[in-house]
């Protein structure tokens, strides 16, 4: 895993946000930040409270949308159409 000093606070925040999103696969985090699934799990474990980490792990384990190979053929995008645009870790005011 990249050392903590290699990632900026904004990048860590974005990785956590992407990991919580149901429709964002771990492959998207790998493509954008170079972190494999196990590295994301380690980052989440280190950055979150223990209870929040356990809740996240329960939510993510076995979820087909978090793994690109398990997704259905009709799912090609990383985010839900109802989700607002996100840029620089701030929710955009524009729609």
The pLDDT of residue 43 is: 95
The pLDDT of residue 72 is: 55
In a domain, 94, yes or no: no
Q: Which residues contact 14 (CB under 8 A, 6 or more apart)?
A: 33, 89
In a domain, 34, yes or no: yes
- pLDDT per residue as tens digits for the range 43-86: 999 999 999 999 999 888 877 666 665 555 655 555 555 555 55
Instruction: Count CB neighbours of 83 within 10 A.
Output: 13
Has residue 20 got a pLDDT over 50? yes
Has residue 94 got a pLDDT over 80? no
Tell me how far apart the terminal alpha carbons of the chain are, to the nearest angstrom. Answer: 36
In a domain, 29, yes or no: yes
Mean pLDDT, rounded, for 7-27? 89
In a domain, 14, yes or no: yes
In a domain, 19, yes or no: yes
What backbone phi and psi angles, to 5 degrees, belong to 77? Answer: -100, 165
Residue matched to tokens 């329960």: 58
What's the domain range around 17? Answer: 1-58
The pLDDT of residue 60 is: 86
DSSP state of 62: T
Domain count, the chain: 1
Region of 34 (left: φ > 0; alpha: ψ -120 to 50; beta: rest) is left
């Amino acid at each position: 895993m990249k050392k903590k000093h290699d990632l900026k606070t904004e990048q860590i925040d974005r990785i956590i946000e992407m990991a919580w999103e149901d429709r964002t696969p771990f492959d998207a985090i790998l493509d954008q930040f170079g972190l494999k699934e196990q590295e994301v799990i380690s980052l989440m474990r280190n950055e979150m409270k223990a209870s929040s980490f356990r809740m996240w792990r329960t939510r993510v384990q076995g979820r087909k949308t978090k793994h690109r190979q398990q997704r259905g053929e009709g799912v090609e995008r990383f985010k839900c159409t109802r989700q607002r645009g996100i840029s620089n870790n701030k929710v955009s005011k524009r729609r």
